[in-house]
Chains A and B, each alone.
Chain A
Amino acid sequence: MDRNGHRKIGVYVCHCGLNIAGTVDVEKVAEYAGTLDVVVVSRHYKYMCSEPGQAIIKDDIKQYELNRVVVASCSPRMHELTFRAACQDAGLNPYLYEHANIREQCSWVHKNRELATEKAKALVRAAVRRVFYQEPLEVKEAPVNPNVLVVGGGIAGIQAALDIANGEHKVYLVEREPSIGGHMAQLDRTFPTLDCSECILTPKMTEVGHHPFIELLAYSEVEAVSGSIGNFKVKVRKKARYVDESKCIGCGVCEEKCPWKVDSEFEVGLAKRKAIYIPFAQAIPNVATIDREHCAYFKTGKCRACEKFCEAKAIDFEQTDESIEIEVGSIIITTGYDIFDPSVISQYGYGRYENVITSLEFERITCAGGPTGGRILLKDGREPESVAIIHCVGSRDQRYHEYCSRVCCMYGLKYAHLIREFTNAKVYEMYIDMRCFGEGYEEFYKRISEEGVKFIRGKVARVTDRTISEEEKGKLIVLVEDTLLGKMIRAPVDMVILCIALEPRSDTEQVAKIFSLNQRADGFFMERHVKLDPVATASDGVFIAGCCEGPKDIPDTVAQASAAAAKALSLISKGRITLEAATAHVDEILCQGCGRCEETCDFHAPKVIHKDGRWVSTVNETVCKGCGACAVVCPTGAMSIRNFTRKQILSIVDALVEV
């Protein structure tokens, strides 16, 4: 025992009024504690947590030169911090303190005085043995870099960036596409108010483009992230547009003159764009981009028409990708969603019948700036006489996505309204449930249901062009069971709109790896806690918002984006982070560099590196949570958790089984 240095332990047993003393003989416990090895003072007092109670401890620390303290009282979850602070006040490191729970886990749960007192003695004995092996720990703080990185320039990213930039802190907004705006820029009218998506989005986009505190890195991607909360180093690759952003004025002449046509991603393949293009009229940044894959000059060395006609001399075929490194203190991921490809549901005929379209395609059709100038038309240019809107395509489906995509019922109703407003078509809504949970949503549903829309409750079995009667000729037949009537329905329509699922981006796994994020079972990024921490992640300092966290509508997206911004602003405001002191620690002589610790940790704290000619694990103490899993898998005992070392815990076990 002596070899661990000269220990002097003080033990304090609290009466807690009658809460403890009413059952446990606290005097006997204090007397017993006094007989234990290296306990130099042992007292009992009515209320240890009170000012005079704490004063006793502080006085004793000075008088007896105590270097370890034990208090036996209520649960440590109540007053461990109180007594740690008291020790610290008296000049004793707060981790040289241990707490024995003789109230919640002793006097309050056992009635027999003798047994409760014996148990209290055992608990005190265990605490005394444990504190013997405790070491002083430094409580460290690290500074927080006030810059923020927002990844993804859709409405979530735009909102988060603006919230932070308006607080006069610098934001880097990285967007993979040539322009910000995301999927919201492709939407026509937004439910339930039916205001135009571009109209409410564009002012925010413009604000981002001009904001003095936002550095917009469009047509760029994050390649690597290192560091940890408060201090991230991020490598960003700015892809070459082959257009000088500082010179281009967005006049669009190059696009006009370019002879090469390509399917437009923005128009979801319903229209063409040119090899040099501005994705849509309100693009920010409003500069052209050359699509290298489809540009004749890059493929064959011929053309250069854009260069010829560009008055600003902005075309630059020599441009290369540029890699930059930025330093930020927090990261907000707002990478949005992909849409489900319904061609896998072959019975719905997407890809086979040209008038079976997805919801996003329909958005482009109704949009005034879209491929049909806002007119609802079939592929052959006619107006439809009837339209079926099929809900839950790819959602609520065990074969594809079990979750509900949350927005489809509402936009399905929206389409019904638009079709009724602008055409004379009959509208069928094939639904399973109507989910109208938000502000004004249920009212919207009521309104639409009074517009003569036919609601059929049932999951559509098939869309077919095989007709069985003269009336059906030339139509698409939607076969569905109307479960409320108990009848099979054949609904002949001209157009079928599929309400497709929102799904995680196809590269979610790679992105998760870069930012050390976890994915949920449904594929979206995992939040720290579903109810109580929905925008934080297991990686400290990395937040998620919007549809990358799960399907949601615009109000919820914007709310989450602001929530994530608030988290970042809170970090910036404090300016420093307190690191967990009870972290994992590597004994470099015992470590064999096997990597089991690295593999098991969910927080990416330990990492095996090559150092001084050997392989060894190092722990990033900034992110280590002290959960202890790495120490359990370590075969040599190299890994231990400060303040929860094997020796300390074994000393408790030994003390408790001692008769």
Chain B
Amino acid sequence: MTLDDIIKETNTFYCLECGKCSSICPISRYNPAYSPRVMVEHALLGLEDDLVYNRELFSCLTCDACQPKCPSDVNYPLFIQKMRAIASNNGEHGECAHSGTLQSLTRLVTNPAIKQRRLEWLSDEFHTSDRSDVLFFVGCAPYFEHIFDFETKSIDIIKASLKILNYFGIEPVLLPNERCCGHDMLWTGDVETFKRLAEHNAALISESGVKKIIFSCPECYQTFKENYPNYVKIDCELQHISEFLSEAIEKNEVSFKETKRTVTYHDPCRLGRHMGIYEPPRKVLEAVPGIELVEMKHSKEESLCCGTSAFTNCDLYSKQIRVERLLEAKDTGAETLITSCPKCQIHFRCAMVNKGEEKGPDVEIEVMDMVNLVANALEEKN
């Protein structure tokens, strides 16, 4: 794709340079070197090198706070995604966090000959089957346990999701050799790796014969739903677990124990603004008796991003955004910050690591995925 192609595809040509994008952009608020309006301006002036070799090209969180505000409906996140593909071909990748371990891992699993050991955490407590119509997509949680030096609770999300599905009599298929969905690769421009991952997953899913895939990770969910169709064919119904639960609650298929807790809910960018799923998680939380949900200052479409995307350019500004969000959560007076994205949870937990003698701002608050709260509150149906 050329720069011109990208401009055409993303409506960038219609940019009025009004700056509404920059004013709402969370990165722009902290990083003086970053402005969506200026990035678009460079594109329109044909200054390709100023974009491709610019560190800031990888600073965008692709959180999509900008697009809804844009009077010309410029698809800025897609613009960034496509520009990064050009950058990647020129050897530019942004600053990979965690020394590039995540990125390396994702490339490693494109290999067709590997036999991963992804399911060693699975115990008899959870029921899965080879013959179900439903597949639960686990994602990268089995690797997260070993990458970070703090507890990510990612496997807890998977376990809670399985407990929930089992509650409804579903014993889903789990793919032992599942590949990373490739979300981070696509969004940082490594389209070749993304394609291979999509192809592997498509083949595995087709082999399994399932008709429906449920996700607990919004990034995997979005990638399968919006991006995979451009590269592979997946003939399945795709659902995020919050949608699944919300449906079940509407049909009165679930009863909950009393759980006294004030919570606040963080809308993940991928689930909220990207996929439009705001109400289902809220319906689920409000269905649990005793839960009091207090909204943060910025919620739903206005929700603030957790601060890092695709484990790239995680820097001082990411931290400032994260701290702002956590302080908003603490301001609500809630005991627990609920989210429904394992990545958001990892980033929030990382912000609470405070090991210097002089401590930074106190952003400690309990963080939990919606499925963990729900799984603990499930009551046996009679």
A contact residues around B97 at 8 Å (CB)? 635-637
Task: Provide the B88-100 mask, 1 if CB < 8 A to any CB of A, else 0.
Answer: 0000000111111
Size of the B side of the interface (Cβ < 8 Å), in residues, is 26
CA distance A636 to B102 in the complex (A): 12
Is B358's CB under 8 angstroms from A588's CB?
no
Is A595's CB under 8 angstroms from B95's CB?
no
CA distance A635 to B319 in the complex (A): 12
A contact residues around B317 at 8 Å (CB)? 589
A contact residues around B149 at 8 Å (CB)? 596, 633, 635
Is B357's CB under 8 angstroms from A646's CB?
no
Within 8 A of A (CB), among B283-326: 314-320
Size of the A side of the interface (Cβ < 8 Å), in residues, is 27
One of B152-160, B213-221, B347-355 at the interface: B347-355
Which of B350, B351, B354 is within 8 Å of A595, CB to CB?
Answer: B354
Is B315's CB under 8 angstroms from A599's CB?
no
Is A590's CB under 8 angstroms from B316's CB?
yes
Task: Provide the A569-604 mask, 1 if CB < 8 A to any CB of B, else 0.
Answer: 000000000000000000011111111101100000
Is B316's CB under 8 angstroms from A599's CB?
no
Is B350's CB under 8 angstroms from A635's CB?
yes
Supposing A592-B318, A636-B95, A636-B97 touch, asked if A598 and B357 sit within 8 A by C-beta, the answer is yes
Is A593's CB under 8 angstroms from B319's CB?
yes
Which of B95, B98, B353, B357 is within 8 Å of A594, CB to CB?
Answer: B353
Given A608-B357, A615-B356, 17 more pairs with CB closer than 8 A: A590-B315, A591-B316, A592-B316, A592-B318, A592-B351, A594-B350, A594-B354, A594-B355, A596-B149, A596-B353, A607-B357, A608-B356, A616-B316, A632-B99, A633-B149, A636-B97, A637-B97
A contact residues around B167 at 8 Å (CB)? none
Would you call B53 an interface residue if the criterion is a C-beta within 8 Å of the partner chain's C-beta atoms? Answer: yes
CA distance A308 to B317 in the complex (A): 69
Is B95's CB under 8 angstroms from A593's CB?
no
B contact residues around A633 at 8 Å (CB)? 149
Question: What are the nearest 3 A-B pairs in CB distance?
Answer: A595-B356, A608-B356, A595-B355
A contact residues around B353 at 8 Å (CB)? 594-596
Supposing A596-B353, A598-B355, A615-B356 touch, asked if A637 and B95 sit within 8 A by C-beta, the answer is yes
Is A636's CB under 8 angstroms from B355's CB?
no
Which of A589, A591, A617, A635 is within 8 Å of B98, CB to CB?
Answer: A635
Within 8 A of A (CB), among B317-370: 317-320, 350-351, 353-360
Is B360's CB under 8 angstroms from A615's CB?
yes
Is A614's CB under 8 angstroms from B355's CB?
no
Is B96's CB under 8 angstroms from A593's CB?
no
Q: Of B148, B318, B355, which is in contact with the most chain A CB atoms at under 10 Å from its CB?
A: B355
**Smallest CB gap from B96: residue in A:** A637
CA distance A638 to B313 in the complex (A): 10
Task: Provide the A90-125 mask, 1 if CB < 8 A to any CB of B, else 0.
Answer: 000000000000000000000000000000000000
Supposing A596-B149, A636-B95 touch, asked if A589 and B355 sit within 8 A by C-beta, the answer is no
Main secondary structure of the interface of A (DSSP, over half): mixed
Would you call A610 an interface residue if the criterion is a C-beta within 8 Å of the partner chain's C-beta atoms? Answer: yes
Is B356's CB under 8 angstroms from A589's CB?
no
Is B356's CB under 8 angstroms from A598's CB?
yes
A contact residues around B314 at 8 Å (CB)? 590, 592, 635-636
B contact residues around A299 at 8 Å (CB)? none
CA distance A591 to B99 in the complex (A): 14
Task: Provide the A607-647 mask, 1 if CB < 8 A to any CB of B, else 0.
Answer: 11110001111000000000000001101111000000010
Would you call A3 an interface residue if the criterion is a C-beta within 8 Å of the partner chain's C-beta atoms? Answer: yes
B contact residues around A615 at 8 Å (CB)? 356, 358, 360
**Smallest CB gap from B354: residue in A:** A595
**Smallest CB gap from A610: residue in B:** B358
Is A614's CB under 8 angstroms from B316's CB?
yes
B contact residues around A595 at 8 Å (CB)? 353-357, 359-360
B contact residues around A635 at 8 Å (CB)? 97-98, 148-149, 314, 350
CA distance A614 to B315 in the complex (A): 12
Is B315's CB under 8 angstroms from A636's CB?
yes
CA distance A132 to B317 in the complex (A): 31
CA distance A588 to B319 in the complex (A): 12
Within 8 A of A (CB), among B78-110: 95-100
